[in-house]
Chains A and B, each alone.
Chain A
Amino acid sequence: MIRKSHMSIALAGLALFASSQAFACSTSLWGAGLTGGAGGANATTGTVVAGQPNGGGGGTSARYSGVCGLRVAAIGGTVNDGSPSAEGTLISRFYAHVNFSTGTPVIYRVSEGSIETPGISVYSIQYNRTDQRFEAVNQFGTVSPIGAVGSAVNNRFYHVHTSWTRATGALDVSVQGAAATSATTASFTGFSSSGGAAGPDFVRLGWVAGAATGTVQVDAYESRRSTAIPRLCRGNANVDTVRNSGDQIAIRNETLAISLAAGNPDCNEDGAVNSGDSICVRNIFLAGQGDCAAFPNI
């Protein structure tokens, strides 16, 4: 769940985890750069649940990678990170499992200023349940759809990658999930900061705002100043470099409630780990596309 980068400016984990699956999931790495620091008063807002799919680790949540994820079932529940500081560029990504019956919840918001004030939104990413697609929103509230209607069906995991540049006010977004083998991309302008040297100072991830009914589960947040952040290898359940029979075993063990897979077992990206994921891994292997490095978008 925690992604580290030597170029990271905002390093925030939803939870700590180690080889021991009894390790508690927590939000203690969030809050860095905010009043109270990591794990402090501003690490989270509202109600969030860090946990594992099997209810271990202190809660119940689907996850994309590792054994812990974060579930939010009410508006205002977020994890927060203040590592950015008037950034001129910000590249970030997260995984979100959106499961809503109505509404348009804001999943991710990048803001200037202080989280207590509560700052100025530079850009937001929201999920439009009616249209079943993600949308970008600039500081003026202008909504820009990302892809066609139906491009992000509900109740699936999505990799959402954003790249923002102050100088041009450009925001590039890539969304890929639901076992798709290509991304939905969009490039926008008009996503300026408030001007001058102003730029992102903090981010919120979860259910930031927006009336809706449902749940969002997020995982694997990472941000940088430069260099795109690659997707995690879908179906690589046993944390090696290829998708093959070993991943099927790891998925089987999680399905049988023997042990949680340490890697990315939700191959079909439906938010649950079961026989469908084993079939998914099998199909990737049989297509000759098991190598994660050679087929990063599969």
Chain B
Amino acid sequence: MKSQLISFAACVFACSATLATANEVMVTNVSSAKDQKNSALAIDIVSDGSVAGFSFRVDIPGLVDSSAKLGGCVAELPKGFQGGCSVVKGSVYVIASSDSASLTLPQGVTKVGTIYYSRRNASKDAGQSIQVVGAEFSDNNANSVSGTAKVLAD
């Protein structure tokens, strides 16, 4: 419990700092490290209030493509946003955009959805970490706006 509190406190501090500075894709591993068969990643977006669209790829070492369950991948997007997800060769692609020229993600953290998947137990994947690649944020004028990405362990 103590460690959880510390983690929570650290997150509050870190997330607050993030809110004040940048857009960010946050992918959080919400599964047990020992459970290769039932893994899950939660997707959140930190927005400075200007983000009308975003897209990125999540590289998951050992991902069994056919195991991915993407029904909830963008299920928590705010009203007025549409998106989709796919799996291609060990990576999950995520894309979303707003329907209205006056709509952006609210400033702060927005839940996007959750990906469920299985990983191979092959040793070659051991030690390889999940990565977010090609994170793109766009404003309502289709201009790219700066942003980062990170993967968090639960």
* Residues of chain A having any CB pair with chain B under 8 Å: 237-238, 240, 242, 244-250, 252-253, 256, 258-259, 261, 278, 282, 285-288, 290
**Cβ-neighbour of B84 out of A238, A252, A282 (below 8 A):** A282
Is B136 an interface residue, CB under 8 A from the partner? yes
Q: Does the CB pair B86–A249 fall under 8 Å? A: no
CB distance from A42 to the nearest CB of B (A): 39
* Residues of chain B having any CB pair with chain A under 8 Å: 52-55, 57, 84-86, 88-89, 91, 93, 95-99, 101, 134, 136-144
Query: How distant is the Cα of A282 from the Cα of B94 in the complex, in angstroms?
Result: 9
Instruction: List chain B residues, Cβ under 8 A from A256.
Output: 101
Assess A240 versus B144: contact at CB under 8 Å? Given A246-B53, A248-B53: yes
Instruction: List chain A residues, Cβ under 8 A from B142.
Output: 237-238, 246-247, 249-250, 253, 261
CB distance from A294 to the nearest CB of B (A): 12
Assess A286 versus B93: contact at CB under 8 Å? Given A246-B138, A252-B101: yes
Q: Which residue of B lies closest to A281 (CB)?
A: B95
- How many pairs of A and B residues are in contact by the CB < 8 Å rule? 80
Q: Does the CB pair A245–B54 fall under 8 Å? A: yes
**Cβ-neighbour of B136 out of A245, A278, A287, A288 (below 8 A):** A245
Query: How distant is the Cα of A10 from the Cα of B95 in the complex, in angstroms?
Result: 41
Assess A253 versus B97: contact at CB under 8 Å? Given A248-B53, A287-B86: no
**Cβ-neighbour of A245 out of B57, B86, B96, B101 (below 8 A):** B96
8 further A-B contacts with Cβ under 8 Å, apart from A242-B134, A244-B95, are: A238-B142, A244-B138, A245-B97, A253-B140, A253-B142, A278-B97, A287-B93, A288-B57
CB distance from B87 to the nearest CB of A (A): 9
Q: Does the CB pair B101–A286 fall under 8 Å? A: no
Q: Which residue of A lies closest to B70 (CB)?
A: A286
Query: How distant is the Cα of A126 from the Cα of B114 in the complex, in angstroms?
Result: 52
Q: Does the CB pair A288–B93 fall under 8 Å? A: yes
Which residue, of A246, A252, A288, A290, has the highest number of chain B Cβ atoms within 10 A? A246
CB distance from A286 to the nearest CB of B (A): 4
Q: Does the CB pair A249–B138 fall under 8 Å? A: yes
Instruction: List chain B residues, Cβ under 8 A from A245.
Output: 53-55, 95-97, 136-138
Q: Does the CB pair A246–B144 fall under 8 Å? A: yes
**Cβ-neighbour of B53 out of A240, A249, A258, A261 (below 8 A):** A249
Query: How distant is the Cα of A250 from the Cα of B54 in the complex, in angstroms?
Result: 13
Query: How distant is the Cα of A237 from the Cα of B138 in the complex, in angstroms?
Result: 13
Assess A287 versus B144: contact at CB under 8 Å? Given A244-B95, A249-B138: no
Instruction: List chain A residues, Cβ under 8 A from B93.
Output: 285-288
Assess A242 versus B141: contact at CB under 8 Å? Given A248-B53, A249-B53, A287-B88: no
